[in-house]
């Protein structure tokens, strides 16, 4: 298998202050980390070569994650443990590589395999557990939830209820876990869920008041 590409799936956390870094800046941060750590990254051909790197899904500014994924192509075989260490020696606080594995033959890249994602939403202390339970129950019994999506083509009414697969109350803190559609086929953002819950609670939603953390990304065959 001489022509087989050496693509590695890098799983990382983006927490703390790094939640304020947007997707394009994150790409630059990864490229520079690869250069500093002198890993044998593969470059694209052409006039303006760039590292061959593809992220599963951009994370909204203000959202943390412990389950981000980027696929990177290298020119040599890597020792996975060593690679984790090299990354973490040079990453800014709040970015941490937790796993590196080589993609198996024929395995689709992360962006193409993505179908859903799980999130944790932590609510302000003013919200009671019973209030939150009631809100969740209401959402789960709805047959449809219509929201308005604004795009270049104009406003569009969308039923997001089928995109919500799980919604569970956590014991501590005042928080819920949710599993929702994510990816090119059908996509729901976590802050929309936060907004829907806030609406049921009768409070206005302010970004940052509900702390959102992405937990994991899933494909058709389970965790990516």
CB of 26 to other proteins, least distance (A): 9
| Nearer residue to other proteins within complex by CB, 35 or 134 | 35
Site string for other proteins, 184-223 (x = CB under 8 A): ----------------------xxxx-x------------
Q: Is 61 in the site for other proteins (CB under 8 A)?
A: yes
Q: Which of 5, 40, 43, 146 binds other proteins (CB under 8 A)?
A: 43
| Nearer residue to other proteins within complex by CB, 9 or 19 | 19
Closest CA to 146 of 199, 211, 203, 212: 199
CB of 51 to other proteins, least distance (A): 9
Compute how many residues bind other proteins; rule: CB under 8 A: 33
CB of 95 to other proteins, least distance (A): 10
CB of 29 to other proteins, least distance (A): 6
Q: Is 58 in the site for other proteins (CB under 8 A)?
A: no
List of residues contacting other proteins (CB under 8 A): 16-22, 24-25, 28-29, 31-36, 43, 47-49, 61-62, 90-94, 206-209, 211
């Amino acid at each position: 298998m001489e022509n087989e590409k050496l693509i590695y799936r890098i799983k990382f956390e983006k927490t703390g202050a790094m939640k304020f870094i947007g997707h394009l800046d994150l790409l630059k941060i990864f490229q520079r980390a690869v250069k500093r750590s002198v890993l044998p990254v593969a470059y694209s051909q052409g006039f303006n070569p760039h590292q061959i790197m593809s992220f599963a899904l951009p994370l909204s500014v203000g959202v943390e994650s412990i389950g981000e994924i980027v696929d990177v192509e290298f020119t040599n075989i890597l020792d996975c443990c060593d690679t984790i260490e090299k990354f973490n020696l040079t990453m800014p606080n709040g970015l941490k590589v937790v796993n590196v594995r080589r993609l198996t033959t024929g395995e689709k890249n992360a962006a193409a395999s993505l179908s859903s994602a799980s999130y944790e939403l932590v609510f302000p202390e003013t919200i009671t557990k019973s209030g939150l339970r009631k809100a969740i129950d209401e959402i789960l019994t709805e047959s449809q939830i219509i929201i308005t999506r604004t795009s270049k083509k104009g406003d569009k009414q969308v039923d997001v209820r089928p995109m919500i697969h799980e919604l569970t109350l956590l014991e501590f803190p005042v928080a819920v876990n949710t599993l929702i559609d994510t990816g090119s086929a059908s996509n729901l953002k976590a802050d929309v869920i936060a907004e829907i819950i806030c609406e049921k609670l009768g409070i206005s939603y302010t970004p940052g008041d509900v702390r959102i953390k992405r937990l994991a990304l899933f494909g058709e065959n389970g965790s990516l």
